[in-house]
Amino acid sequence: MTDTIAAIATPPALGAIAIIKLSGDQSLKILQTLTHRQHFPPRRAILVDCFEPSGDLLDQALALYFQAPHSYTGEDVAEIQCHGGLLVARLILEACLKAGARLATSGEFSKRAFFNGRMDLSQIQALQQLIESQNASMAKAMAKQLKGGLQDFVQTIRTALLELIATAEVLIDYAEEDLPENLPETLRAKMRPTLKKLQHTLEVSKAKQAQLEGYTLSIVGKPNVGKSSLLNALLLQERAIVSPLAGTTRDTIEEVVYLNGSCVRLVDTAGIREGADFVESLGIARSKARMQESQIILALFDLSQEMDAQDRHILDLLNAQQDKTILVILNKSDCTPKLDTNALLAKLPFLKAPPLVLSAKESPCLPLIQEALAPFMQTDLPDVILPTLSQQEALEATIAHLQSAQKPLKSLELELFAYHIKDALESLAKLTSPYNTEEMLGVMFSQFCLGK
């Protein structure tokens, strides 16, 4: 990979600056060609003029040169920060291409960083998740991981497993009567904290997936309870049509809001009722589907009306969604109350949050709902979180191998025990590096003094 790649690193939109990046052996030479300037001390911002090959001036810019291996990719890297806009950066990029660079493919800078050992796989993945993250605390966790948090985690587990193998291997050749008493229990006890740690990390990683992807919150209820009014109140704008006619909203309406530090997809749904016409029924089917896909449900009931069959139908639907965060909202608190709220809540004994009494018309809905949902949108994240499915699978495999290792312990088959632990090590290595596990194990074992 000795060719030099170039790309515009900033989004194609109007902004104050745009950045063109170069990486590869020719980076400095291309920079010199473009700027008609020879001297670029590394890691210094230099004010330069950028010229087209024809000699026409393109822009005044800041240029930075990073000498290999002290750069993001580990190669010679140059950056040109020019004025933002749709055209200037493109023209500078074209000039770079004419001067000998090749257009980079997506992710190619990071790929080079990986192959040059500047970042391991976990850091690349953390970087990707950091860019994609929809929520502030997840972004922080990923930034930590980018600095090597996952590597430290893997290293700690690896050391613990290597110790287990060492203990087992020393004893493999011993006659059974010479083995220490309670050996299976000793080894199992040694293994327990590691296994617990892995299981906890897996659980948390799966549970926090929603925080990475952003929550979906659906507003459900029978027709006319004020769902669209609540959506508008939360968006602080008249997004959905509100009317006293039951069945006003016929399709789902979705908007993204920023709630408790997370991007939340807010879904207003068609009021759920029996006996609706064909089109409304299609809308109702969508309401139910969106409700099932949500992590959080705002279930609306009308305080100004007595409970009816439609409300009871909603209660049945909620009963089938007990694993979700359900916030019951008793709306129209500005009207004379007729709803028997005790009877209603008795049908929902599994609720984790107390019901919220409000008026979508008159209450400050956004702060009220934000506060009510805060405990369910916890933003404290552990040091290590595995955001990708392949990492979660690697961890699951590690746990499975450790569990398999427990069986041969009973019959004191130490060789088989060590074999499973080695498998666990191999799966564990996939968290940070997808290949070369064989070689890595070789190095690790050579550092480890068996029989000590």
Ligand X SMILES: Nc1nc2c(ncn2[C@@H]2O[C@H](COP(=O)(O)OP(=O)(O)OP(=O)(O)O)[C@@H](O)[C@H]2O)c(=O)[nH]1
Using rule CB under 6 A, residue 287 touches ligand X: no
Which does residue 332 bind out of ligand X, Mg ion, none, counting CB within 5 to 8 angstroms by kind?
ligand X
Binding test (CB under 6 A) with ligand X, winner from 41, 117, 244, 275: 244
Nearer Cβ to Mg ion, position 248 or 321? 248
Nearer Cβ to Mg ion, position 248 or 406? 248
Smallest separation (angstroms) from Mg ion to the CB of 265? 17
Smallest separation (angstroms) from ligand X to the CB of 324? 20
| Secondary structure in 3-state letters for the chain | CCCCEEEECCCCCCCCEEEEEEECCCHHHHHHHHHCCCCCCCCCCEEEEEECCCCCEEEEEEEEEECCCCCCCCCCEEEEEEECCCCHHHHHHHHHHHCCCEECCCCHHHHHHHHCCCCCHHHHHHHHHHHHCCEHHHHHHHHHHHCCHHHHHHHHHHHHHHHHHHHHHHHCCCCHHHCCCCHHHHHHHHHHHHHHHHHHHHHHHHHCHHHHHCEEEEEECCCCCCHHHHHHHHHCCCCCCCCCCCCCCCCCEEEEEEECCEEEEEEECCCCCCCCCHHHHHHHHHHHHHHHHCCEEEEEEECCCCCCHHHHHHHHHHHCCCCCEEEEEEECCCCCCCCCHHHHHHCCCCCCCCCEECCCCCCCHHHHHHHHHHHHCCCCCCCCCCCCHHHHHHHHHHHHHHHHHHHHHHCCCHHHHHHHHHHHHHHHHCCCCCCCHHHHHHHHHHHCCCCC
CB count, 10 Å around CB of 313?
A: 14
Binding test (CB under 6 A) with ligand X, winner from 331, 391, 427, 432: 331
From the list 110-118, 223-231, 415-423, 429-437, the region that binds ligand X by CB under 6 A is: 223-231
Site for Mg ion in 375-434 (CB under 5 A): none
CA dihedral 142→143→146→148, nearest 10 degrees, is: -100
From the list 62-70, 131-139, 244-252, 374-382, the region that binds Mg ion by CB under 5 A is: 244-252
How many residues touch Mg ion under the rule CB under 5 A: the total is 4
- Find out whether 118 is annotated in a ligand binding site: yes
Nearer Cβ to ligand X, position 230 or 394? 230
Burial class (CB in 10 A: 0-12, 13-18, 19+), 395: buried
- Find out whether 190 is annotated in a ligand binding site: no
Using rule CB under 6 A, residue 4 touches ligand X: no
Smallest separation (angstroms) from ligand X to the CB of 335? 5
Smallest separation (angstroms) from ligand X to the CB of 225? 5
- Find out whether 201 is annotated in a ligand binding site: no
How many residues touch ligand X under the rule CB under 6 A: the total is 24
- Find out whether 226 is annotated in a ligand binding site: yes
Using rule CB under 6 A, residue 249 touches ligand X: yes
CB count, 10 Å around CB of 153?
A: 23
Binding test (CB under 6 A) with ligand X, winner from 28, 242, 329, 381: 242
Using rule CB under 5 A, residue 229 touches Mg ion: no
Using rule CB under 5 A, residue 269 touches Mg ion: no
Binding test (CB under 5 A) with Mg ion, winner from 145, 228, 287, 363: 228
Using DSSP bridges, classify how beta strands 262-268 and 215-220 pair: parallel, antiparallel or unpaired: parallel
Which does residue 148 bind out of ligand X, Mg ion, none, counting CB within 5 to 8 angstroms by kind?
none
Site for ligand X in 336-375 (CB under 6 A): 359-361
CB count, 10 Å around CB of 190?
A: 14
Smallest separation (angstroms) from ligand X to the CB of 286? 12
Q: Name residue 434's amino acid.
A: P
Smallest separation (angstroms) from Mg ion to the CB of 230? 9
Using rule CB under 6 A, residue 319 touches ligand X: no
The answer to whether 96 touches 54, Cβ cutoff 8 Å, is: no
Using rule CB under 5 A, residue 249 touches Mg ion: yes
Binding test (CB under 6 A) with ligand X, winner from 4, 205, 228, 295: 228
- Find out whether 227 is annotated in a ligand binding site: yes
Q: Which residues are annotated as a binding site for GTP?
A: 224-229, 243-249, 268-271
Contacts with ligand X, residue ranges (CB under 6 A) = 221, 223-229, 242-244, 246-249, 270-271, 331-332, 334-335, 359-361
Q: Which residues are annotated as a binding site?
A: 21, 79, 118, 224-229, 243-249, 268-271, 452
Q: Which residues are annotated as a binding site for (6S)-5-formyl-5,6,7,8-tetrahydrofolate?
A: 21, 79, 118, 452
Q: Which residues are annotated as a binding site for K(+)?
A: 224, 243, 245, 248
Contacts with Mg ion, residue ranges (CB under 5 A) = 227-228, 248-249
